[in-house]
Structure 1
Amino acid sequence: DGYNVCIFAYGQTGSGKTYTMEGPKDNPGVNQRTLERLFSIRDARKGDIDMKLTVSILEIYNENIYDLVTGKQQSLDLRTKEKVEVYVQGLEEIVCESMDDVRNAMRLASKHRSTGDHKMNEHSSRSHLVLTVNAETKNKVSGQQTNGKLSLIDLAGSERVSKTDATGERLKEAQNINRSLSALGDVISALQERKKHIPFRNSKLTYLLQNSLAGESKVAMFVNISPVQSNAQESTCSLNFASRCQKVALGQARKNIDSNEIVKYRKVIDDLQAQIASIQRVNGFKASTPKKPRRGSKTSQ
């Protein structure tokens, strides 16, 4: 319906974020269930609405952005359109006609995503994964066009280097992950305290999330915690972060209606008003214009 929606999973490494968002084959996660619902809505409303769905999948690895669908190793840049909308220049968007198209894209992304093993997780995601669905709709009756965006985000896990025994490349990855998650925490704190300056540009992750967290989107977060006693400190930190997020008031989400459509409707209204005036003249009716009351005068009730 033209809204921007963001859903992301947050928590320490090994707490189940990727399981929540992706899930196994026999028990699909949030990503697949959400997209299945989108296609179901499209099919149910196809008599009234044309809907085009495109999907892109990227990862933020060591503060670089990579296209996981194409698998190209070229780092992509963030750009700002019309001084408001943040987008990734050169990111491939795939037109998806069915869930099979989506599953193929997700398989490619899973194959190309950066993973590694360490003491706390044998298959640890070493990057933030962002799956974005753009939905362009056109009402067949009114002609109104809307553009909605759904962002499904599997954040890399926060981790204490002392517990993972990370060295070399794994240490560098952990430092970049923790740095970007810290930047996300700074943004949440600034939003909670209603500061004038929100440090979105302190990391690629927060810069990319600017449109979602700036107050014009609907946002939901899964917080994953570990049941293991030795991870109690990390679980407490995750819950504290969730508590801070819960206190953030983003304001009312805004629908994205094509500005060209608004101009077109205004023209239709003007044309109809001109037709009414013409009919009134032909039939001898005189359109009355309400008089502006004098300053200080009282109107009758």
Structure 2
Amino acid sequence: MVGLQKGPGLGAKKGSVAAPSKTGSTQNMSANIKVVVRVRPLNMKEMQSYNRIVVDVVDDKMLVFDPKEETRPLFYQGVQQPNKNFLKRANKELKFVFDDVCGQEASNQDVFETTTKEIISSLMEGYNCSVFAYGATGAGKTFTMIGTQENPGITYLTMEHLFYTIYSFKKDRDFDIGVSYIEVYNENVYDLLKPSSTPLQLREDSKNGVMVAGLSLHSIKTARELLNVLEDGNKNRTQHPTDANAESSRSHAVFQVYVKMRYKISSQLRMVKLSMIDLAGSERASASGCKGDRFKEGANINKSLLSLGNCINKLADGSNYIPYRDSKLTRLLKDSLGGNCKTVMIANVSPSNITYEDTYNTLKYAARANKIQLSIKKNIVDGDIRASQYVKINEELKKKIKELEAKLSLSSLKTVKESDGVKEKCKLIDLY
């Protein structure tokens, strides 16, 4: 994942943004990717056409895909007649269990409460955190991540909660905050906060991981500034209408917040990043009606999402080789999927049978992602000096100061005595 090396406004070198240094990281933990499924309400097109509900939310942890339909028996002259749908394929009746399931009635606030609210505390502890929305075109990813003015998405709500949390720690820590915003469009990476027709290059090394060369980093002081930057970036994001979605996002968007915090007592420094990722939707050309440039866009979107799916499958299987380099998207997501990062995946699906195959594929990938194990480290740059250690060091320094003062005092007294002795000798010489 793109991250922080050191950038403008954060005492950093200008021109490249990379993952925070892991120097001094002392605490490791193992965790799974947290997977949350959100089932959106039926849209107008689905309500106006004949459709069947293929996602039945059982509770906040379980859903059933393609549930059995209740068929009323047909009788003629008191005799039950054979079912006319006997040639119809059997319902899958597949049960899926996830960390959380948000039904059609769930608001963006509800999704925020179950997904990103709790990871802010992990961010404050020194862990990198990442959230990404996955699903087919029109499944509701951008609404979940960005939302509207009346119903803001989880990116807005998360940023608001981040600044509230930072304010509560002001007495103990000093903070510097920077943000970047990029999109991956047609397998090219662009800066949404500093628009240019020239794509940015990805670079990778063993120390910093994947870097986006030339990516601009903007220093932020208030939540309002941060949200204004997010809004400006969204205006520059590539969107085009398709048959499947009137405002289809044709690119993957990665919004990142870099937080540098220094403890006032121990001077411990932690540098962490929060990544909010809105993926473009997988799509079938027949459903989206794309031709020409839109078809090319869709092909590149599907290519990168296929690479993402392959990485998820390999990670879930515990494979030693993960094909991150198959696409720009998976190179950028490397840290979030299999690296040093607490990750939440929000799988967005429609409940209508119109998107039957897309919903099934999304649920399968979400179930696979839930098996991925992550090894997470705290990002502590200059060592973990506890308060008790600090007090001990302080006492030792005070003791040394007293010893030096005593030596200095003895030395001064000796100098005075020697000076008095010289004066007495001079007086005796004068007498003679």
Query: Normalization by structure 1: what TM-score?
Result: 0.86
User: Which residue of structure 1 lines up, in the alignment, with residue 162 of structure 2?
Assistant: 38
Distance in 2 of aligned mates of 1:114 and 1:275:
59
User: Which residue of structure 1 lines up, in the alignment, with residue 280 of structure 2?
Assistant: 156
Asked if 1:255 corresponds to 2:378, the answer is yes
User: Which residue of structure 2 lines up, in the alignment, with residue 108 of structure 1?
Assistant: 232
Q: Equivalences for 1:63-78 in 2 at 5 Å? A: 63-78=187-202
How far apart are residue 269 of structure 1 and its match? Answer: 11
Asked if 1:214 corresponds to 2:338, the answer is yes
User: Which residue of structure 1 lines up, in the alignment, with residue 214 of structure 2?
Assistant: 90
What is the CA deviation profile of residues 226-258 of structure 1, one whole-angstrom value per residue up to 9, with x for unaligned ones? 12221111101100110000111123x211111
Distance in 1 of aligned mates of 2:352 and 2:384:
58
Relative to 1, partners in 2 of residues 1:43 and 1:264: Cα closer, same or farther, differing over 3 Å? closer
Q: Which amino acid aligns with 2:131?
A: I
Q: Equivalences for 1:78-227 in 2 at 5 Å? A: 78-227=202-351
Select the structure of larger CA radius of gyration: 2
Local SS of the residue matching 1:158 = coil
Local SS of the residue matching 1:262 = coil
Distance in 2 of aligned mates of 1:34 and 1:123:
24
User: Which residue of structure 2 lines up, in the alignment, with residue 230 of structure 1?
Assistant: 354
Q: Which amino acid aligns with 1:170?
A: R
How far apart are residue 107 of structure 1 and its match? Answer: 1.8
Q: Which amino acid aligns with 1:152?
A: M
Q: Which amino acid aligns with 2:218?
A: I
1:48 aligns with one of 148, 169, 172: 172
Relative to 1, partners in 2 of residues 1:271 and 1:107: Cα closer, same or farther, differing over 3 Å? closer
Local SS of the residue matching 1:162 = helix
Local SS of the residue matching 1:122 = coil
**Could you tell which deviates more after superposition, 40-49 or 76-85?**
76-85
Conserved? CA contact 2:141–2:348, under 8 Å: yes
1:243 aligns with one of 367, 370, 373: 367
Distance in 1 of aligned mates of 2:293 and 2:144:
27
Runs of 5+ in structure 1 lacking a partner?
279-301
How far apart are residue 83 of structure 1 and its match? Answer: 3.9
Conserved? CA contact 2:255–2:275, under 8 Å: yes
Conserved? CA contact 2:266–2:390, under 8 Å: no
Aligned length, in residue pairs: 276
Q: Which amino acid aligns with 1:255?
A: K
Distance in 2 of aligned mates of 1:146 and 1:81:
21
Q: Which amino acid aligns with 2:383?
A: I
Distance in 2 of aligned mates of 1:51 and 1:268:
21
Distance in 2 of aligned mates of 1:241 and 1:27:
28
Local SS of the residue matching 2:212 = strand
Distance in 2 of aligned mates of 1:187 and 1:56:
25
Q: What RMSD, in angstroms, separates the aligned Cα atoms of the two structures?
A: 2.5
How far apart are residue 60 of structure 1 and its match? Answer: 0.2
Runs of 5+ in structure 2 lacking a partner?
1-123, 401-432
What is the CA deviation profile of residues 22-77 of structure 1, one whole-angstrom value per residue up to 9, with x for unaligned ones? 11111111101111111111111111101111111100000000000112222001
Q: Which amino acid aligns with 2:127?
A: Y
Conserved? CA contact 2:132–2:279, under 8 Å: yes
Query: Normalization by structure 2: what TM-score?
Result: 0.60
Runs of 4+ off more than 3 Å: 81-84, 267-278
Local SS of the residue matching 1:152 = strand
Conserved? CA contact 2:266–2:385, under 8 Å: no
Q: Which amino acid aligns with 1:164?
A: S
